[in-house]
Amino acid sequence: MRTFPEHETLPHARLRTVIYIVPDLNAAKKWYHKAFGPKPYFDESFYVGFSIGGYELGLLPEEGEPKPRGENVMTYWGVDDVQKAYDRLIRLGASTCEEPHNVGGELVVGAVKDPWGNVVGLIHNPEFKLPE
């Protein structure tokens, strides 16, 4: 594995994929399709991939002993209206993790847990613009 000096960065690094491990791949596929809209672009028994806003949401089937779910990693999905997105996911069976709230300026965050315990963060940040 290549190591980088402290002053060197990973050139052109960008977040591309978030993967959730789920015990029921088919149920998760249906839930995430309802939650975000697009159908999977990749749909196999070992992996399901959705293309959402230029990023990938991946689902992996859980193998072996159940893995602990935690709040040690947060991935935020950018949305125009955090409260509206949060309410929709709750109606679809998610549970509350962090109710939507303003964290300064126009920045609003919130989070739910999907039906399998994975944390799905939601964020509205008008200062963040995707690179052209």
Q: Are residues 45 and 80 in the same domain?
A: no
List the CATH number of the domain containing 108. Answer: 3.10.180.10
Residue 84, CB-side half-sphere exposure with 13 Å CA sphere: 6
Confidence label for 85 from pLDDT (cuts 50, 70 and 90): very high
The predicted structure's pLDDT at residue 130: 63
Residue at 84 is within a domain:
yes
Which pTM does this prediction carry?
0.73
Q: Are residues 97 and 123 in the same domain?
A: yes
Element (H, E) at 28: helix 25-36
Q: Are residues 88 and 106 in the same domain?
A: yes
Residue numbers of the domain that contains 39: 15-63
d(Cα 48, Cα 61) in Å, to the nearest integer? 9
Q: What does the pLDDT look like over 92-131, one tens digit per residue?
A: 999 999 999 999 889 999 999 999 999 999 999 888 776 5
Radius of gyration of the chain from Cα atoms?
16
Residue at 7 is within a domain:
no
Lowest mean pLDDT segment, chosen from 10-24, 33-47, 91-105: 10-24
